[in-house]
Amino acid sequence: MTRQSLALLIILLGILIFISSATIVAGSDELKRELLEDILSQDKPELFDDYGELQLAKTKMQTIIQGLNSRDVTATTKAWVDLSLRIIDDFELMVSESESSDPVDHINAVEAADRINISINTLTGCPTAERNGIPMLSMLALMRFYRAEGKFFEDAARNTGETKLKLDYERRSSIAYEKGSMPSDASRMAFESRRNERIYDRDMKSASKDINAARVQRDKAITQTSEFFGSHFMSILKARDSFESAKGLYEKHNDKELETENVIKTEDEIKHAYQSLMLDALLRVGIYLLILSFIVVILWKEFKKWGEELDDTRLGEELIV
């Protein structure tokens, strides 16, 4: 075989391969069968029981592909069918994660829902899918999922004692309700979030001021040079009162600021200073009482001596008479 003949054979083979692949892309029974097999393999009874819209979307896809001529089943057809099937697969994973009672899993599930939302918007750009309402059905299912998540985060907000988490859950609930086309519930949760956030910010500012005041009074109690002992004790009492006020606000919101190293250190220093000054006060009072006891004993002896002398004087007067 000459080089020219070999080259011609290679060219002919290339043309045949191209024509074969082009036939599959342009439309073929093989591609149609492949797509129908992919659609029929989507057997998700639990998901379809909860989200019938997805089963209807799958049925519509099957009907569309079965009704197309083989030559009309193209790469474009495959693209939107694959995207629709991927949306159903992603939906199943998302729903599975949302069945957990852990809010973190629900946060991840909502993030997955947002990605599915993007896929549905992409699917909307496919004329055949859009014309047959497949993106609309998927979006209806997704909106129901968002509503369920809005309710979950609303309940989570009501059941938590930590205000920071409550605010986060309320915001997430509002956003989920909004994406689920429930504007009144979204507005209600947004209002609750803003109201609770104002209260929280106000209390945290007050707590911060009380902590700072407690530190100032603590330093006064430890470092002041006044010889009047009461000033030291009054300062540490003020420090303790200010700290207890701040502590009450932190406990009200179950805030983790109370567990930070600086706050714990401040509390320990105030307790230590209070105990030291209390011991010092008891020692001083003990010394004062001891001195007072000596004075009382001395005075009692003097009065007793004076009484005895007075009795002797009276006795002498009676003898003279």
Residue by residue, pLDDT tens for the chain (321 residues) are 455 554 444 444 444 444 444 444 445 789 999 999 999 998 899 999 999 999 999 999 999 999 988 898 999 999 999 999 999 999 999 999 999 999 999 999 999 999 999 999 999 999 999 999 999 999 999 999 999 999 999 999 999 999 999 999 999 999 999 999 999 999 999 999 999 999 999 999 999 999 888 888 888 777 755 555 567 767 878 888 888 899 899 999 998 887 787 777 877 777 777 666 666 666 666 677 778 777 877 777 767 667 666 655 665 555 565
In the chain, what's the furthest Cα-to-Cα distance?
176
**What was the pLDDT predicted at 77?**
93
Task: Give the number of domains in the chain.
Answer: 2
Which amino acid type is present at position 129?
Answer: A
Residue 40 covered by a domain = yes
Asked if the structure places residue 71 within a domain, the reply is yes
Residue 83 lies in a domain: yes
Asked whether residue 165 is assigned to any structural domain, the reply reads no
Token pair belonging to 165: 């988490």
The answer to the question of residue 201 being in a domain is no
E strands, 7-115, in order: none
Answer for the pair 195, 165: CB distance below 8 angstroms, yes or no.
no
Q: Is residue 104 part of a domain?
A: yes
- Residue 219 placed within a domain: yes
Look at residues 145, 166, 189 and tell me which one is the last residue of a structural domain: 145
Last residue of a domain, one of 99, 126, 145: 145
Backbone angles phi, psi at 133, to 5 degrees: 75, 15
Single out the residue in 120, 145, 170 at which a domain terminates. 145
| 286 domain-assigned | yes
Say yes or no: 117 and 215 in one domain: no
Residue 102, SS3 per DSSP: coil
Size (the chain), residues? 321
Residue numbers of the domain that contains 31 = 25-145
